[in-house]
Amino acid sequence: MTPKHHEKNNVKGQSSTSPKYIFVTGGVMSGLGKGILSSSISVLLEARGYTVAPIKIDGYLNVDAGTMNPIEHGEVFVLDDGTECDMDLGNYERFLGKSLNTENSLTTGRIMQRVIQKERRGEYLGKTVQMIPHVTGEIKQWIKRTAKNSGADFVVTEIGGTVGDLENQMFIEAARELHSEEPGKNVAFVHLTLVPVMGVVGEQKSKPTQHSIKELQHLGIQPDIIVARSEKMLDKKIIQKIKLFGDVDHVISDPDLKSIYEGPVFFENEGLMTAIEDTLGITKKEANTKDWKNFIDSLLDGEKTLTIAITGKYTQLHDAYTSIFESLSHASAKNKVRYKLKWVETTDLSYDDAKKALSGVDGIIVPGGFGSRGVEGKINCVRYARENNLPFLGLCYGMQIATIEYARNVCGLNGANTPEVDEKTPHPVIHVMESQKGIDNLGGTMRLGAYPAELQKGTLVHELYGKDNITERHRHRYEVNPEYIKALENKGIIFSGKSPSGDLMEFLELPKHRFFVATQAHPEFKSRPLLPHPLFDGFVRACSTKKG
């Protein structure tokens, strides 16, 4: 295959209002920031009055990210409709300030599943089912269907991994075919590569980028725009060299920034959107980024720095808690403070150890998780927070941990636990939800997605949300055991939010505490830069207020 030229005649009958497609690919190595680049492009398009539908493509054979270990793959992000997906979908939601759905997440597993199901139903009319055209055709249909159903002006598709990866070849080929089939200037390719600096000579090297462009060209795609990741701005001679050897008109610097949220404003100033407008032949418009700039100023100019402790077993891979970090950033900007993290590994953590670990911190978060490792250490951390009036926020498993701690140390229910940790516990204050009993498969079987809750008036949670009824996203199998609710309430816990039926405890709080709130949900999935989540906003505000 050879690269196609981008000047094509309009196909007869093709609407002039058909959507434009932007593909973001990566080269040299993973982790360069394709998700942030794709998100920034999407923000700048919407800042010009366009509508955008983002798609994240992952080459793995898993149908979704739900069964993948966070240590291996990072955070599992959950959408309103229950889709378990890559953490880059979280970036898209945060940058665009809107909720996405299952159409915005595509994996090799999902495509193969659809192709095989069609073959079993006989939909290919006896033909030999092949990678081309059937798998690539299914990929193109997915992208076009997403464009149609969303009504978006632009579809920004990030192809995960790097060019040359075996698992990405069908997606690259589908993008090439789509470009070949689309009329006029309807498709643009933005390629993110690495320009390393040799430590000995301190010189930026363009050779990895040149090889990456050649690899893309060998697959039939000529990139329109090169975004080059490096520690500092690209030297002019490097830009010219990349343009010459890559046969590309637009090369954009992508240096280290203080915050990922600087991306849209930085790329706007560097002319990325001008390059996209030239490539796609669209009218140049001025972007309205005033609110975004104000947020960045607030984010970077905090008056004081808080120390927030996070407990858990994934402390060796911070990507497992990305949405929590970003939620803290959003709330910190609103409250005009900064924050730094203190990681607390809870495996084999005694109460005395917890005292030492949490001494001097301004607040503590116990995040979601699964399994028994580190549970006793988490319980000791929650106990310390409760007894020392330290702001505490429990998320999902964190609410279950808080319930166990209170049952043991306040209600006197010795041995209280969750069957997830101790099947023989005498007091299962946490138990498996009725809807989860008898389920064998792990993938996509938890209580997933957005569920409603009714908030009790006069409580802190109700005050924070400012409304009676809310929805939050969930990802769990266990819940507070209804048989123990009265015993817990009699000793002071307030279950300040419940499911509409009243049988599922969604929030708990302690009224005489500075801030002791836990939720069975994952509020971190719904926080946005320009609209911090109420729970994180309240938590950070409590952390920044002197103990009185």
Distance CA(359)–CA(94), nearest Å, equals 33
What topology does CATH give the domain 302-544?
Rossmann fold (3.40.50)
Q: Is the pLDDT of residue 8 over 80?
A: no
Higher-scoring residue by pLDDT: 74, 437:
74
pLDDT given for residue 308 in this prediction: 97
Summarize pLDDT for 53-70 with one digit per residue, the tens.
999 999 989 888 877 776
What is the per-residue pLDDT across 411-453, written as a single tens digit (0 to 9) for each? 999 999 999 899 999 999 999 866 655 555 555 567 899 999 9
**Looking at domain 20-292, does it have CATH number 3.90.700.10?**
no
Task: Name the residues annotated as catalytic.
Answer: 396, 522, 524
Over the chain, what is the mean pLDDT? 91
pLDDT confidence of residue 317: 64
pLDDT score, position 16: 44
Average confidence (pLDDT) over 334-362? 94
Report domain extents, the chain.
Answer: 20-292, 302-544
Burial of residue 112 (number of CB atoms within 10 Å: 0-12, 13-18, 19+): middle
- pLDDT for residue 9 is more than 50: no
Cis bond before residue 500 (omega within 30° of 0): no
Is it the case that residue 318 has pLDDT exceeding 80?
no
- Round to whole Å and give the CA distance between 481 and 528: 32
Model pTM above 0.85: yes
Residue 147 predicted with pLDDT over 70: yes
* Beta strands 494-498; 305-312: pairing state: unpaired
- CB burial of 401-418 (b: ≥16 within 10 Å; e: otherwise) equals bbbbbbbbbebebeebbb
Could you report the per-residue pLDDT of 193-213, keeping only the tens digit for each? 999 998 777 899 999 999 999
Tokens of residue 362, six digits = 């301004």
Q: What one-letter code names the amino acid at 527?
A: S
Average pLDDT, stretch 142-157?
A: 97
Strand 363-366 and strand 305-312: the pairing is: parallel
Structure tokens at 18: 């058909």
Q: Say how far apart CA 5 and CA 345 lie, in whole Å.
A: 55
Q: Over the stretch 216-268, which tens digit does the pLDDT of each residue have? A: 999 999 999 999 999 999 999 999 999 999 999 999 999 999 999 999 999 99
